[in-house]
Structure 1
Amino acid sequence: MAHLLGAEQLRLKFPNRIVLDGVSLGLSDGDNVGLVGRNGDGKSSLMRLLAGRNEPDSGRVTVRRGVTVGMLDQTDALDPDETVGHAIVGTAAEHEWARDPRIRDVITGLVSDVPWDQLISALSGGQRRRTALAALLVRDLDVLLLDEPTNHLDVEGVTWLAGHLKARFAGGQGAFAVVTHDRWFLDEVTTTTWEVHDGIVEPFEGGYAAYVLARVERDRQASTIAAKRANLMKKELAWLRRGAPARTAKPKFRIDAANALIADEPPVRDTVALTRMATSRLGRDVVELVDASVTYDGEHDVLHDISWHLGPGDRVGILGGNGAGKSTLLGLVTGDLAPTSGRVRRGKTVKASWLSQDLHELTDLANQRITDVIAPYRVAFTSASGDDLTPGQILERLGFTSAHLATPVKDLSGGQKRRLQLVLVLLGEPNVLVLDEPTNDMDTDMLAAMEDLLDGWPGTLLVVSHDRYLLERVTDNQYAVLGSPDGGTLRHLPGGVEEYLALRAAGAGSGAARPGAPGGPGALTAGGGAGSSPASGAERHAARKELASIERRMEKRSGDAAKVHDSMAAHDPSDYPGLEKLAAQLREIQAEVTELEERWMELASD
Structure 2
Amino acid sequence: MAHLLGAEALHLEFPTKVVFGSITLGLNDGDRVGVVGRNGDGKSSLLAMLAGRLRPDSGRVTARGGLRIGVLDQADTLDDSLTVEQAVVGDTPEHVWAGDARVRDVIRGLLGDIAWDAQVIALSGGQRRRVALAGLLAGEWDVLLLDEPSNHLDVEAITWLAEHLKRRWPANAGALLVITHDRWFLDEVCNATWEVHDQIVEPFEGGYAAYILQRVERDRLAATAEVKRQNLARKELAWLRRGAPARTSKPKFRIDAANALIADVPEIRDKVSLQALAVARLGKDVVDLLDVSAGYDGTEVLHHVEWRIAPGERTGILGVNGAGKSTLLGLIAGAIKPTAGTVRRGKTVRIAALTQRLGDLEDHMHEPVRIIIERLRASYTIGSGSKAQELTPSALLERLGFSAAQLSTPVRDLSGGQQRRLQLLLILLDQPNVLILDEPTNDMDTDMLAVIEDLLDSWPGTLIVVSHDRYFIERVTDQQYAILVGRLRHLPGGIDEYLRIRSQAPAPTAPGLTAGAAKAPDAAASAGQPVSGQQVSGRPAAGSAAERVAKKELDRLDRQIARAGERETKLHAELAASATDYAKLTELGAELSAVEAEKAELEERWLEVASALEG
The TM tier, using the shorter chain, reads 0.7 to 0.9
Deviation at 1:89, TM superposition (A): 0.7
Which of 444, 453, 456 matches 2:455?
A: 453
- Cα distance change of structure 1 residues 352 and 381 upon mapping to structure 2, 3 Å threshold: farther
Task: For 1:268 and 1:395, locate their aligned partners in 2 and report how far apart those are by CA, in whole Å.
Answer: 22
Instruction: Say whether residues 1:317 and 2:319 are aligned partners.
Output: no
Which of 502, 505, 522 matches 1:504?
A: 502
Contact kept, 8 Å, 1:543 with 1:603, in 2: the verdict is no
Higher relative contact order structure (alpha carbons within 8 Å, sequence separation ≥ 6):
2
Deviation at 1:121, TM superposition (A): 1.2
Contact kept, 8 Å, 2:565 with 2:599, in 1: the verdict is no
Task: For 1:313 and 1:95, locate their aligned partners in 2 and report how far apart those are by CA, in whole Å.
Answer: 56
- Cα distance change of structure 1 residues 508 and 463 upon mapping to structure 2, 3 Å threshold: farther
Task: For 2:273 and 2:64, locate their aligned partners in 1 and report how far apart those are by CA, in whole Å.
Answer: 59
Superimposed CA distance per residue, residues 293-337 of structure 1 (whole angstroms, 9 cap, x where no aligned partner): 11323x332211111001111000000111111111111111112
Contact kept, 8 Å, 1:144 with 1:177, in 2: the verdict is yes
Instruction: Say whether residues 1:494 and 2:492 are aligned partners.
Output: yes
Superimposed CA distance per residue, residues 146-167 of structure 1 (whole angstroms, 9 cap, x where no aligned partner): 0000001000000000000001
Deviation at 1:34, TM superposition (A): 0.2
- Cα distance change of structure 1 residues 454 and 509 upon mapping to structure 2, 3 Å threshold: farther
Please name the residue that 2:536 is paired with.
none
Contact kept, 8 Å, 1:380 with 1:389, in 2: the verdict is yes
Please name the residue that 1:149 is paired with.
149
Task: For 1:541 and 1:233, locate their aligned partners in 2 and report how far apart those are by CA, in whole Å.
Answer: 43
Contact kept, 8 Å, 2:236 with 2:450, in 1: the verdict is yes
- Cα distance change of structure 1 residues 330 and 251 upon mapping to structure 2, 3 Å threshold: farther
Which of 406, 418, 426 matches 1:404?
A: 406
Please name the residue that 2:357 is paired with.
358
| SS at structure 2 position matched to 1:87 | helix
Contact kept, 8 Å, 1:528 with 1:534, in 2: the verdict is no
Pairs within 5 Å for 1:405-484 = 405-483=407-485
| SS at structure 1 position matched to 2:323 | coil
Contact kept, 8 Å, 2:381 with 2:388, in 1: the verdict is no
- Cα distance change of structure 1 residues 333 and 68 upon mapping to structure 2, 3 Å threshold: same
Superimposed CA distance per residue, residues 252-290 of structure 1 (whole angstroms, 9 cap, x where no aligned partner): 211000000000101111101111111111001100011
Please name the residue that 1:206 is paired with.
206
Pairs within 5 Å for 1:200-349 = 200-297=200-297, 299-349=298-348
Q: What amino acid sits opposite 1:497 in the alignment?
A: I
Contact kept, 8 Å, 1:84 with 1:120, in 2: the verdict is yes
Deviation at 1:481, TM superposition (A): 0.9
Deviation at 1:382, TM superposition (A): 4.4
Structure 2 unaligned blocks of 5 or more: 509-554, 577-595, 602-615
Contact kept, 8 Å, 1:210 with 1:253, in 2: the verdict is yes
Please name the residue that 2:34 is paired with.
34
- Cα distance change of structure 1 residues 402 and 55 upon mapping to structure 2, 3 Å threshold: same
Please name the residue that 1:520 is paired with.
none
Task: For 2:39 and 2:17, locate their aligned partners in 1 and report how far apart those are by CA, in whole Å.
Answer: 14
Superimposed CA distance per residue, residues 371-414 of structure 1 (whole angstroms, 9 cap, x where no aligned partner): 11110221234433322332122211111121211111111011
Bigger shift: residues 249-258 or 174-183: 249-258
Contact kept, 8 Å, 2:382 with 2:455, in 1: the verdict is no
Deviation at 1:246, TM superposition (A): 2.5
Instruction: Say whether residues 1:70 and 2:74 are aligned partners.
Output: no
Among all aligned residue pairs of Structure 1 and Structure 2, give the percentage whose two residues are the same amino acid: 61
| SS at structure 1 position matched to 2:317 | strand
Name the TM-score, length of structure 1 as normaliser: 0.84
The number of aligned residues is 535
Task: For 1:264 and 1:605, locate their aligned partners in 2 and report how far apart those are by CA, in whole Å.
Answer: 40
Please name the residue that 1:391 is paired with.
393
Q: What amino acid sits opposite 2:499 in the alignment?
A: L
| SS at structure 2 position matched to 1:53 | coil
Please name the residue that 1:369 is paired with.
368
- Cα distance change of structure 1 residues 343 and 539 upon mapping to structure 2, 3 Å threshold: closer
Task: For 1:386 and 1:80, locate their aligned partners in 2 and report how far apart those are by CA, in whole Å.
Answer: 54
Instruction: Say whether residues 1:91 and 2:91 are aligned partners.
Output: yes
Deviation at 1:349, TM superposition (A): 0.5
Superimposed CA distance per residue, residues 539-594 of structure 1 (whole angstroms, 9 cap, x where no aligned partner): 677789999xxxxxxxxxxxxxxxxxxxxxxxxxxxxxxxxxxxxxxxxxxxxxxx
Structure 1 unaligned blocks of 5 or more: 511-525, 548-600
Task: For 1:213 and 1:33, locate their aligned partners in 2 and report how far apart those are by CA, in whole Å.
Answer: 17
RMSD of equivalent CA atoms? 2.5
- Cα distance change of structure 1 residues 205 and 542 upon mapping to structure 2, 3 Å threshold: farther
Task: For 2:277 and 2:356, locate their aligned partners in 1 and report how far apart those are by CA, in whole Å.
Answer: 28
Deviation at 1:450, TM superposition (A): 0.2
- Cα distance change of structure 1 residues 603 and 213 upon mapping to structure 2, 3 Å threshold: farther
Contact kept, 8 Å, 1:381 with 1:427, in 2: the verdict is no
- Cα distance change of structure 1 residues 278 and 389 upon mapping to structure 2, 3 Å threshold: farther
Contact kept, 8 Å, 1:494 with 1:605, in 2: the verdict is no
Q: What amino acid sits opposite 1:282 in the alignment?
A: L
Contact kept, 8 Å, 2:11 with 2:58, in 1: the verdict is yes
Pairs within 5 Å for 1:73-222 = 73-222=73-222
Task: For 2:558 and 2:88, locate their aligned partners in 1 and report how far apart those are by CA, in whole Å.
Answer: 40
Q: What amino acid sits opposite 1:172 in the alignment?
A: N
Task: For 2:58 and 2:480, locate their aligned partners in 1 and report how far apart those are by CA, in whole Å.
Answer: 50
Task: For 2:382 and 2:179, locate their aligned partners in 1 and report how far apart those are by CA, in whole Å.
Answer: 36
Pairs within 5 Å for 1:14-25 = 14-25=14-25
Superimposed CA distance per residue, residues 503-547 of structure 1 (whole angstroms, 9 cap, x where no aligned partner): 11111799xxxxxxxxxxxxxxx9955996964666677789999
